[in-house]
Structure 1
Amino acid sequence: MSAILFMTLVIGGTALLAWPLGRHLKWAMDPTPSLVSTRSKIDRLFLLVGGKAVGKPQGWKQYTLYLLVFNAVMFGLAFALLACQQSLPLNPDGKGALDASLVFNTAVSFTTNTNLQHYSGEVSLSYFSQLFALMWLQFVSAATGIAALAALARGLSGRKHLGNFLMDVQRATFLVLLPLAVIFAVLLVLGGVPMTLEGSAVATTLEGIQQTIARGPVAAFVAIKQLGTNGGGFFGPNATHPLENPGLFTDVLSMVMIILIPMACVWMYGRIVGSRRHAAVIFGVMLALLLLKAGSAVYFETAPTQALAGLPVEQTVGNLEGKELRLGAATGPLWGVLTTSTSNGSVGAMQNSLNPLTGLCALVGMWLNATFGGVGVGMINMFVFIVIAVFVAGLMVGRTPEYLGRKIEPREMKLAAIALICHPLFILVGTALFAATAWGIDTVNNAGPRGFTEILYEFSSAAANNGSGYEGLGDGTAPWNIATGLVMLLGRYLPIILPLAIAGSLAAKKPVAESAGTLRTDGLTFGIMMLATIIFIGALTFFPVALLGPIAEHLAYMHYPLI
């Protein structure tokens, strides 16, 4: 009961904070035109800094082109800095050169807002690399997602020009992410998270043994990694490290940061398209799925580990393996669901220590990739499900489907179908290839279904731009670095480009007057239709691999009681 109450307070409290933040996001990303307001003066400053290119309105093609070019430049700069880290300053511990495939994977990972880490931060990277190659990317990659959502919403509101990408990136970075990161970084420092540029500390234990303790500008790194749904840890163990997550205060604070902006993005979307009731329906569907997964994960994790499985229930306390007991056993599975529902990827407990069905809850979050999802892009992914739901509803009532006053026709449906198919395609093809070859077989830590799940989880994380992993997998090899790097690139940009194309197509159409036969998208009926669409598509796509992995592992041990 206490675990359920804790879960409800964390998720419910963040949902309340998301409402005013959504209003702020609308103010920041889509201000009302004015010549004298302070907000307009801020945009004029952005124009002054960015030049003429920032002031030009862009259609969906131009907006997408600028987005891709900007992200390519981001990747190039990050690659160069990581490749030369041994020769750059702020390297008090003398970190050496990185393998070329690892440089590629890491640069792709942070450019795509994934933060999949095939390295241990405190072991492999200098402070310069952490701050100026990676932390910088955690700002601008998250800003890219917020910008893309704002552009999508503008197109769906009927505007032919979706805005200006360079202007939107500045707005998202300096008016949303940076102020929030400063506030939460200060709170993290107050909670005991280190913030220093000094090298590792050397301490002598009570036994007289010298111990080297890694440290650094951790608080600044953690704040944006959580707020931007980035997830990359300053330390290898991520948020299970006592210096990255010293206590229950920082633990709760981190979980709030993980879901705060993704929740607020739904309200921003509703305000821009002009229908807060429609946003409330979307928010309700997302929240219902999140609560279902979180509640299930906490319940499934009450099953004991195999070492204690034969004992009477009253003699067991659930699965404590891989948990930070100083933070409470329930925080691990809850964090696991929040981080995979929002494309964050940080971990508050070791994912590979979760019970099979708890691990399945985390996988479902990445497979659906729309339960709030990553900053900005989670709502974009949900938009694809909305288009499918509207089309199916139109077929059921025998009318041309309409969304926000514009007809959805074959062109839009083709684009939505491609966007929907891409995600499972990247996951399933990659999993099949590595599960059948030495590239994957020789790197798994466990045989049987658990080993299969390790491979499946890695490709699910890469395709969903999540970044978490079933640790134990030997994923630091060149095949893993290159394969997941390519999946991260495709999994990031196709799901952004295709919905922007749909928005551009709908914006060019004349609005259709609402009639008695129009399916309203701001009521309970449409909410149920959305929920059913998400569940049916998800089940049909991923149930077979779920059977081969976590479900098969659970069934192998089902003679042990769950509670």
Structure 2
Amino acid sequence: MGILQIVIVLAVLVALVKPVGNYVYHVFSNEPNRQDRIFGPFERLIYFLIGLKSRAGMTWKKYALSFLLTNIVLVAVGYVILRVQQYLPLNPNGIGNMEQTLSFNTIISFITNTNLQDYSGETGLSYFSQMVVIMMMMFTSAATGFSVAIAFVRGITSKGETIGNFFEDFVKAHTRIFLPASVLVTLLLVALQVPQTLDPTLTVTTLEGAVQSIAIGPVAALESIKHIGTNGGGFFGVNSAHPFENPSPLTNVIEILSMWALPASLPYVYGRFAKNRKQGWVIFSAMMTLFLLFLSLIHFSELRGNPAINAMGIDASQGSMEGKEVRFGIPQSTLFTAVTTAATTGTVNNMHDTLTPLGGLGALGEMMLNVVFGGKGVGLINMLMYAILGVFLCGLMVGRTPEFLGRKIEPREMKLIAVAILAHPFLILVPTAIAFMTDLGRGAITNPGAHGISQVLYQYVSSAANNGSGFEGLADNTPFWNISTGLVMLFGRYIFMIAMLAVAGSLVRKQWVPETVGTFRTDNKLFYGILIGTVLIIGALTFLPAIVLGPIAEHLKLG
């Protein structure tokens, strides 16, 4: 029955790819379509209010500068609100101002679509901050990532055109995708008993006569955009394990599909832009193959149980249920874990610190590779980066200048791709080493041995991949961890995005080369295998030593 539950969700996801992909393509194709009648008047009003008189295409430098300046303004506004929230309205519980290093970490976390939380939402933020800062950035960070992904796709598929206009893409992402989808999912969650209110914390008397405080708030609205925007985070400290955030298996499936449908549809969108849908399905198939490998590792590791607990004679017939909700069980817990780390969402319905060593390895692996669907455009861009690299390597082996989608791949593009590929492990492994070399870093580790290594490694992997989930056994709300993870999130987001926009800008200016019999095809089974092999080989070369010291060593120690 557990496998059947997973198969049904996978089947629904695959069925959604084409209709969602077609919708997203029409949003960003800039071709007249029926959507314009519905959203056009509202968008023109927004363009007028922000002073956007021309929606002409931008160079990659102007596009990058536009999204950077927009993000800087949002960061400044959000930071100020967090620092003075106790004086602002909609604070019925009297929550104080957020400490400065925690404010820095939080604001960077949410603008980078990471949503790493070193605080508990119900006690650390007012309703005003939850809605005006956190939810606002869940929309804007997702729209920024989506816009950059579409610009990159335009750059590598269009013939002599620009990569688009950032402000037009940014507005359309809000009006045509995230706002409508969030309203729909919010209504579904409210109908399924997720709270949506501005009332203060409830004070109730239990059956035993004790007085208990129960936190409530605008939960459903935050839940919808946190999943649709692959943001993560949570209204409550325990995230989607909380019965108010995720009360039933049905809401669990809705949240899984919410965070997975858009990233899974982007390869199909890429195929539409490339005028070759087989290209899109090859990318999707490679992503799904990697996902199924990691899902199988997580699921069967958790189903097998913890050898240490099994040796104590405790009934483990249901698998390793430590840290998991009974209402979800192993199947929906492991599927949620695989999807949230694949889609770089970061929301959790079970505590990843309690995963078996190989289960934790599966979650780590998806974030380390950062190509298994990914968040709003991240997975697609990364996979296309590996696709270009694979084409380049194949071209070198046959002594031919490599071409991708009719453009020659030359040293400039490969240098930029090398920067993007190497920046990710650098931002993970160097801070991890520093954390172990300093008392400030080691002092936060709550588990000795290999599991402690996994805790620190997971924290920086999650930050660099803009995922935001954590092993949660790490005492990380300190200036050292707030600042270090904040910087990793910042550089992990923007170095990669700028480098990939530069690649798109370089390719869009190149003359298109007609396909010949000697052109290496990228829409067949051979390239599917090359693509997966390239990803796995580079991932192993960069991360295998760290994995051996952490989860693999812990697994071997448990026997």
Question: Which band: TM-score by shorter chain?
Answer: over 0.9
Q: Which runs of 5+ in 1 are unaligned?
A: 559-563
Q: How far apart are the structure 1 equivalents of 2:129 and 2:520?
A: 52
CA gap 1:373/1:158 in 2 versus in 1, 3 angstroms: same
Find the counterpart in structure 2 of residue 268 from structure 1: 269
Amino acid in structure 2 at the alignment position of 1:56: A
| Aligned counterparts of 1:284 and 1:81: Cα–Cα separation in 2 | 44
**Counterparts of 1:346 and 1:281, CA distance in 2:** 28
Q: For 1:107-137, what per-residue CA distance to the aligned partner results, in whole angstroms no more than 9, with x for missing partners? A: 0000000000000000111000000011010
2:163 matched residue in structure 1: 162
Change (3 A) 1:95 1:56: same
Seen in structure 2, the aligned counterparts of structure 1 residues 514 and 315 have a Cα distance that, compared at 3 Å, is closer
1:438 to partner: Cα distance? 1.1
Contact 1:160 1:504 in 2 (8 A): no
Counterpart residue number, 2:13: 14
Which string of whole-angstrom CA distances, capped at 9 and with x for unpartnered residues, describes residues 431-457 of structure 1?
A: 110022112211011000000110000
Asked if 1 retains the 8 angstrom alpha-carbon contact of 2:194 and 2:220, the reply is yes
Note if contact 2:308-2:558 (Cα within 8 Å) is conserved in structure 1. no
Paired residue for 2:3? 4
Match in the other structure for 1:485? 486
Contact 2:318 2:330 in 1 (8 A): no
1:159 Cα deviation after fit: 4.0
Answer whether contact 1:149 1:269 (CA < 8 A) is retained: no
Deviations 1:214-238 (A, max 9, x none): 0000000000000000001000000
SS for the counterpart of 2:204 is: strand
Cα separation, 1, equivalents of 2:7 and 2:397: 37
Choose 393-402 or 355-364, whichever is displaced more: 393-402
RMSD: 1.7
Q: Secondary structure at the match of 2:537?
A: helix
User: Whole-Å Cα distance in 1 between the matches of residues 491 and 87 of structure 2?
Assistant: 32
Deviation at 1:265, TM superposition (A): 1.7
1:291, distance to aligned residue in structure 2 (A): 1.1
Q: 1:470 to 1:37 in 2, by over 3 A?
A: closer
Measure, in 2, the Cα distance between the counterparts of 1:419 and 1:330.
Answer: 35
Amino acid at match of 2:86: Q
CA contact (8 A) 2:195 2:218 kept: yes
- Is the contact made by 1:148 and 1:377 (CA closer than 8 Å) also made in structure 2? no
1:240–1:34: structure 2 CA closer, same or farther, 3 Å change rule? closer
Instruction: Note the 1:50-61 alignment, pairs <5 A.
Output: 50-52=50-52, 55-61=55-61
Unaligned stretches of 5+ residues in structure 2: none
Distance 2:45 2:381 in 1: 29
Percent identity between matched residues is: 45
* Cα drift, residue 41 of structure 1: 3.7
8 A contact 2:39–2:175 mirrored in 1: no
Tell me which residue corresponds to 2:182: 181
The more displaced of 431-440 and 220-229 is 431-440
Matches within 5 A, 1:310-459: 310=311, 316-459=317-460
Per-residue deviation, 1:317:
2.5
Corresponding residue of 1:137: 137
What residue in structure 1 maps to residue 297 of structure 2? 296
Q: Is the 8 A contact 1:116 1:462 kept in 2?
A: yes
Distance 1:16 1:187 in 2: 20
- Cα–Cα, structure 1 residues 307 and 489, in superposed 2: closer, same or farther, change >3 Å? same
Query: How many correspondences in the alignment?
Result: 557
Output one character per residue of 1:356-399: Cα deviation in whole Å (capped at 9) or x when no partner.
00000000010011110011122112121111111111112221
Whether the aligned pair in 2 keeps the contact of 1:381 and 1:495 (CA below 8 Å) is no
- Take 1:91 and 1:45, find their aligned partners in 2: how far apart are those partners? 32
Q: CA separation in 1, counterparts of 2:393 and 2:295?
A: 29
Counterpart of 1:128? 128
1:10 Cα shift? 1.4
Q: Is the 8 A contact 1:340 1:362 kept in 2?
A: yes
Counterparts in 2 of 1:18-97, with a 5 A limit?
A: 18-33=17-32, 38=37, 41-42=40-41, 44-52=44-52, 55-97=55-97
Deviation, structure 1 residue 276: 1.2
Give the SS at the match of 1:274.
coil
* Cα gap change, 1:40 to 1:444, in 2 (>3 Å): closer
CA distance in 2 between counterparts of 1:44 and 1:50 reads 10
In the TM superposition, residue 340 of structure 1 has moved relative to its aligned partner by 0.7
Q: Report the Cα distance in structure 2 between the residues aligned to 1:458 and 1:54, rounded to whole angstroms.
A: 43
CA distance in 2, matches of 1:420, 1:4: 35
Q: Secondary structure at the match of 1:309?
A: helix
Q: Is the Cα contact below 8 Å between 1:298 and 1:333 reproduced in 2?
A: yes
Aligned partner letter, 2:56: K
CA distance in 2, matches of 1:527, 1:288: 10
Q: Is the 8 A contact 1:238 1:348 kept in 2?
A: yes
Q: Give yes or no for contact 1:31–1:39 (8 Å, CA) kept in 2.
A: no
Scaled by the length of structure 1, what TM-score is found?
Answer: 0.96
Counterpart of 2:341 in structure 1: which amino acid? T
Q: TM-score, normalised by structure 2?
A: 0.97
Q: Is the 8 A contact 2:39 2:176 kept in 1?
A: no
**Does the CA contact (< 8 Å) of 1:204 and 1:210 recur in 2?**
yes
Contact 2:142/2:230, CA 8 A, preserved across alignment: yes
CA contact (8 A) 2:406 2:515 kept: yes
- The offset of 1:4, in angstroms, is 2.1
Shift of the 276–35 alpha-carbon distance from structure 1 to 2, 3 Å rule, reads closer
Q: Which amino acid aligns with 1:86?
A: Q
User: Could you list the per-position Cα deviations for residues 384-416 of structure 1 after superposition, in whole angstroms to 9, with x for gaps in the alignment?
Assistant: 111111111111222111010000001100000
Cα deviation for residue 306 of structure 1 reads: 4.9
SS of the equivalent of 1:326 reads: coil
